[in-house]
Structure 1
Amino acid sequence: MKLNTYETIYILKPDITEEKNLNLVTEYRNQIIRYGGQNIFIQHRGRRHLSYNIDNCYDGVYIQMNYEGSNKLIRRLEKLMKLNSNVIRYLTIKQESVKGIIK
């Protein structure tokens, strides 16, 4: 089965503790592995000011995940993020694979 390359960015509430943040990152990473994902790369983008108020929050903690996976995995991850009260926004995009760069 061919896996697609995805990038998911989610924003956590600014008052989240470091422990809860790490627990969420671990939980989502484990779900990616459980549903057949691979080549997982996670970056903490830090706390940033939001362009507009979301759920009475003016700042958010950004986390970026790059991985290979299936559509089933994306549906599962986004459902978990939707149900988590600490996640205020999330977005998953499918990345096009680059075969070669012509100069």
Structure 2
Amino acid sequence: MRKYETIFILSPELSEDDIKSVTTKAQDVISSFNGECLRMDDWGIRKLAYSIKKSVRGRYYYLRFNGDRTLIAELERRLRLDDKVLRYQSVNITDLPERATVPEKKVEAAEGDVVEGTEEVTTTEETAE
């Protein structure tokens, strides 16, 4: 199975029941095609770059899942037919390299050595005469 992510934008005027019905339908499609839903995030209402169907704002949802091509075709078909969905896009992320982590350098400093990013500061007190 391949790993995919889909982002879809819903109309911001939808009620909680309408939003839940769209997200439930998406999860049902994934499970009916033997896929595995890994993550579903609500990114909230954001301003769109341009108006879509006379809306300048939209509610963004992020969906990450495992599945095959038939699953993607059916999920996109259902999102396309749903009037509540303004836009959607699916991307195959199976072949993307994992994020490289940079190993941290261990700094061992003896007494009196200056460690990068730190400086010894001396202050003198002046007395007023």
Q: Tell me how many residue pairs correspond in the alignment.
A: 101
Higher helix share: 1
Partner deviation per Cα, 1:54-73 (whole Å, 9 max, x = no partner): 11000000000000000000
TM-score (norm 2): 0.73
Counterpart CA distance in 2 for 1:49 and 1:67 is 26
Counterpart CA distance in 2 for 1:4 and 1:101 is 21
Identity %: 27
AA in 1 matched with 2:16:
E
AA in 1 matched with 2:15:
T
SS at match of 2:34: coil
Shift in CA distance, 68/44, structure 1 to aligned 2, threshold 3 Å: same
- In the alignment, what sits opposite 1:11? 9
Q: CA RMSD in A?
A: 1.6
SS at match of 1:66: strand
Unaligned residue ranges in structure 1 (runs of 5+) = none
Counterpart CA distance in 2 for 1:63 and 1:11 is 6
- In the alignment, what sits opposite 1:62? 60
SS at match of 1:68: strand
Task: Give, in angstroms, the shift of residue 99 of structure 1.
Answer: 6.8
Counterpart CA distance in 1 for 2:14 and 2:99 is 41
Q: Is the 8 A contact 1:12 1:62 kept in 2?
A: yes
- Among residues 84, 87, 90, which one is paired with 1:86 in the alignment? 84
* Structure number with higher relative contact order (C-alpha < 8 Å, ≥ 6 residues apart): 1
AA in 1 matched with 2:79:
M
AA in 2 matched with 1:56:
K
Task: Give, in angstroms, the shift of residue 98 of structure 1.
Answer: 4.2
TM-score (norm 1): 0.90
AA in 1 matched with 2:39:
F
Q: Tell me which stretches of 4 or more aligned residues in structure 1 moved more than 3 Å.
A: 97-103
Task: Give, in angstroms, the shift of residue 36 of structure 1.
Answer: 1.0
Shift in CA distance, 50/100, structure 1 to aligned 2, threshold 3 Å: closer
Unaligned residue ranges in structure 2 (runs of 5+) = 103-129
